[in-house]
Chains A and B, each alone.
Chain A
């Protein structure tokens, strides 16, 4: 036992918790007179049968409904004498409801109690040292939910111990600590609780899952080739799916993940899996806090009423044309500018396919600003009523396949109303799951990007909508006499500083003037110069550049709010080859025969967006990653790069750690690395060399 516990460091957070809370009956009864305090606690708590609480809960739910009905009736009569007693009844009911809900809440640690023991036993049985970390054990949730989540969690921890973690020898060979870690964490997020089970093991073998999925007839070879890795991982939730080569006494029999998923589905939760080969696997479970009562905002769309859980609602905005808040359009995508952020809008009517032909008033309406995880979007509705406490009832099994609804309920006026599921909406409109994943846990990135302001050149070309380009990319601004524009070989040119400079309009709508002054943005590298033809140079502003809506159109990186206006950011890399077919080739000839590959590591999306096009234009095949951990994973997975450019200050693993990790691996030991800190105190340069950077440039130089 003692040998085992040496190897298996006690999960401190959880044990501290177990020692301090949860007046478990056995313990309080047995504690006796050693200490006064537990005795007092024991005297102040009684055991109540769960059924009693359940019944109480049902009664309170009914009471809430009845109260709502009364309020509805009184609302129709102006000066009713019932008003003030009803007000009081209403308050008491609300408190009662809250109190009863509280009796049902239990810390999630109750479901984790047995896990340290299980892990300890597994550790002996499998002969692997395992550390179990538990975080957020005091996060509370409804005991009904708790009961349903207990077994899935146990199963997932077993799985992680058996399949997830490698044997100690294997771990040491892979440069990892001998002791494997399983990390269990819980936290609140909106009306949900997020539980994560993560291990630092070998990760899921995507190739094996692929092969297995084909072998067991879940998908054909052709289908499987089209699926992304994330989609492939979802196969592990299929019934009877196991890629374990051998069946152990612990797991590998292929029963499990499908049951886990079924249990989680049952309580309206979701489970997601992420895996990085060689770095570990993590399962993220999202389940509602309680299944009972929620506060909901009632809205109207196409004449029907719907309830939106208040927890997901951030604010309400009234949109009108010609007011401060108006719905703008970037191509076909509707957006709202809200405090200098671009908010993507979705129309509830359209989502629910309730659109009618006579769609006229598309500029007016109420916007329910909704947040799901890190994703915020605006839901456009026709009208907003009041908020009401609703008792969530599950959808009929026939309707459960509609992702937009999480349940239904009976309102005070007796009618049935559907409850909108903001999660379902996000999934349905597919709001760039990848971006969300990238944003998760990278708040630091956003802060960094927000802090960095940039000089931007604002101009107009073709449409009245402003366009912008980072000023640092522009060599000069020029206005030339339109008469000096010549045509050669069908392409407009001008003589500029003793050279012929090709002129490229930003888009087809831009007309090269035939008289007067023609504004140009001049871009050049050492030898070549090109002029970008625009209609008007508007301004140079100092602002933050957050690409909010990525663009698929060539020539545009995306859209951002600049000085309160939705602005399209143009991609210079697109225009350079238009001016000189050989701009890219020429660079390549200089650098060697083949395209060189480059890995760009920077936590700030801003710099990634900025540098990548420039580097591409310079002839590199650029791969960008947001975190050093991801970069390392990429390198370990066998990808090879000719050059690595990395930022230094990053959340998680910083640039120095990253560089030394790259150097430590014999396969990547001699890859040239350019450290590119944004702010670069001299004293850190030497540090850079010590850690094995080839050279160090502030990122501004790289850009220039």
Chain B
């Protein structure tokens, strides 16, 4: 794994609001269907709630809200990607989970200057795939900025 990561990075891919995102697989703990979400009154709009995942309390973040995208229209059952950040468990609510992609680190490009500002805030670069763009999600920025947004 470590030998491989020198030139190839594995990404878990996820769709959020029609855009393909990639999360470094080393950061992803698990993928689960969020159930029995407890609402948190007075919390920021991007906090979807809290849930119990095998005895741990997970803070679930609505990625659509986080990225200022419109809420999902009915249908699709949301999924959550579990990530650990500063010793706390978080679940990122996404529309759809995709396959795991192995991409050479060298093909990662910096954010295009005209990348949507909402995406640029949480993006750690992009990969050009066949006919579409994979935005690499910077988990730290997603979670840290979230705290800032709430505090402000």
Contact B41 A304 (CB under 8 A): yes
* In the assembled complex, B147 has its CB within 8 A of some CB on chain A: yes
Given contacts A354-B41, A396-B88, A401-B151, is CB(A414)–CB(B52) below 8 Å? yes
Given contacts A408-B50, A410-B52, A410-B57, is CB(A415)–CB(B151) below 8 Å? no
A352 to B43, CA, bound (A): 10
Contact B36 A399 (CB under 8 A): no
Q: Mark B127-152, 1 if CB is under 8 A from A, else 0.
A: 00000000000000001001100110
A697 to B50, CA, bound (A): 65
A18 to B50, CA, bound (A): 46
* In the assembled complex, A417 has its CB within 8 A of some CB on chain B: yes
Which chain A residues border B47 with CB–CB below 8 Å? Answer: 398-399
Contact A397 B88 (CB under 8 A): yes
Contact B147 A353 (CB under 8 A): no
Contact A352 B42 (CB under 8 A): yes
Q: Mark A403-432, 1 if CB is under 8 A from B, else 0.
A: 011001110001111100000000000000
Interface residues of B (CB under 8 A from A): 36, 38-44, 47, 50-52, 55, 57, 59, 61, 86, 88, 90, 143, 146-147, 150-151
Contact B147 A416 (CB under 8 A): no
What are 19 inter-chain pairs, A to B, with CB distance below 8 A?
A304-B38, A304-B41, A353-B42, A396-B90, A397-B86, A397-B88, A398-B61, A398-B150, A399-B59, A401-B150, A404-B41, A404-B42, A408-B38, A408-B57, A415-B38, A415-B52, A416-B50, A418-B40, A418-B50
A62 to B5, CA, bound (A): 38
Which chain A residues border B43 with CB–CB below 8 Å? Answer: 398-399, 402
Q: Mark A365-406, 1 if CB is under 8 A from B, else 0.
A: 000000000000000000000000000010011110110110
The residues in A between 65 and 103 inclusive whose CB is less than 8 angstroms from any CB of B are 65
B53 to nearest A CB, angstroms? 10
A362 to nearest B CB, angstroms? 19
Contact A352 B41 (CB under 8 A): yes
Given contacts A408-B57, A416-B51, is CB(A399)–CB(B40) below 8 Å? yes
Residue among B40, B50, B52 facing the most chain A CB atoms (10 A cut-off): B40
Which chain B residues border A410 with CB–CB below 8 Å? Answer: 52, 55, 57
Contact A414 B41 (CB under 8 A): no
A185 to B71, CA, bound (A): 54
Which chain B residues border A399 with CB–CB below 8 Å? Answer: 40, 43, 47, 59, 150
A414 to B50, CA, bound (A): 12
Given contacts A399-B47, A410-B52, is CB(A304)–CB(B57) below 8 Å? no
Contact A402 B42 (CB under 8 A): yes
| Residue of A62, A353, A354, A416 touching B38 (CB-CB under 8 A) | A416
Extra pairs beyond A62-B55, A398-B44 (17, CB < 8 Å): A65-B55, A353-B41, A393-B57, A396-B57, A396-B59, A397-B88, A398-B143, A398-B150, A401-B151, A408-B57, A409-B57, A410-B55, A415-B52, A416-B38, A416-B50, A416-B51, A418-B50
Which chain A residues border B147 with CB–CB below 8 Å? Answer: 397-398
A-side interface residues, number (CB < 8 Å): 23
A402 to B147, CA, bound (A): 12
A300 to B40, CA, bound (A): 14
| Residue of A352, A354, A397, A416 touching B57 (CB-CB under 8 A) | A416
A621 to nearest B CB, angstroms? 43
List the 4 closest A-B pairs by CB distance, nearest first: A352-B41, A396-B59, A416-B50, A416-B38
A401 to B147, CA, bound (A): 9
Which chain A residues border B86 with CB–CB below 8 Å? Answer: 397
Which chain A residues border B61 with CB–CB below 8 Å? Answer: 398
Cβ-closest chain B residue relative to A305: B38
Which chain B residues border A416 with CB–CB below 8 Å? Answer: 36, 38, 50-52, 57
Cβ-closest chain B residue relative to A393: B57
Contact A402 B52 (CB under 8 A): no
A446 to B36, CA, bound (A): 49
Given contacts A396-B88, A398-B59, A399-B59, is CB(A414)–CB(B36) below 8 Å? yes
Residue among B50, B55, B143 facing the most chain A CB atoms (10 A cut-off): B50
Which chain A residues border B41 with CB–CB below 8 Å? Answer: 304, 352-354, 404, 418
Which chain B residues border A62 with CB–CB below 8 Å? Answer: 55
Which chain B residues border A415 with CB–CB below 8 Å? Answer: 36, 38, 52
A300 to nearest B CB, angstroms? 13
Which chain A residues border B39 with CB–CB below 8 Å? Answer: 304
A65 to B40, CA, bound (A): 22
Cβ-closest chain A residue relative to B37: A416
A354 to B38, CA, bound (A): 13
Residue among B36, B52, B55, B86 facing the most chain A CB atoms (10 A cut-off): B52
Cβ-closest chain A residue relative to B51: A416
Which chain B residues border A396 with CB–CB below 8 Å? Answer: 50, 57, 59, 88, 90
Q: Mark A551-594, 1 if CB is under 8 A from B, else 0.
A: 00000000000000000000000000000000000000000000
B142 to nearest A CB, angstroms? 11
A401 to B59, CA, bound (A): 14
Given contacts A304-B39, A404-B41, A417-B38, is CB(A398)–CB(B146) below 8 Å? yes
Which chain A residues border B146 with CB–CB below 8 Å? Answer: 398
A62 to B55, CA, bound (A): 9
A352 to B51, CA, bound (A): 19
A399 to B147, CA, bound (A): 8
Q: Mark A669-691, 1 if CB is under 8 A from B, else 0.
A: 00000000000000000000000
B140 to nearest A CB, angstroms? 13
A408 to B60, CA, bound (A): 14
Which chain B residues border A401 with CB–CB below 8 Å? Answer: 150-151
Which chain B residues border A405 with CB–CB below 8 Å? Answer: 40
Which chain A residues border B57 with CB–CB below 8 Å? Answer: 393, 396, 408-410, 416
B56 to nearest A CB, angstroms? 9
Which chain A residues border B52 with CB–CB below 8 Å? Answer: 410, 414-416
Cβ-closest chain B residue relative to A415: B36
A401 to B88, CA, bound (A): 16
B101 to nearest A CB, angstroms? 29
B44 to nearest A CB, angstroms? 8
Cβ-closest chain A residue relative to B49: A416
Which chain A residues border B150 with CB–CB below 8 Å? Answer: 398-399, 401
Cβ-closest chain A residue relative to B36: A415
Which chain A residues border B42 with CB–CB below 8 Å? Answer: 352-353, 402, 404
A352 to B39, CA, bound (A): 11
B148 to nearest A CB, angstroms? 10
B40 to nearest A CB, angstroms? 6
B29 to nearest A CB, angstroms? 15
Q: Mark A41-80, 1 if CB is under 8 A from B, else 0.
A: 0000000000000000000001001000000000000000
Cβ-closest chain B residue relative to A306: B41
A101 to nearest B CB, angstroms? 21
Residue among A62, A304, A398 facing the most chain B CB atoms (10 A cut-off): A398
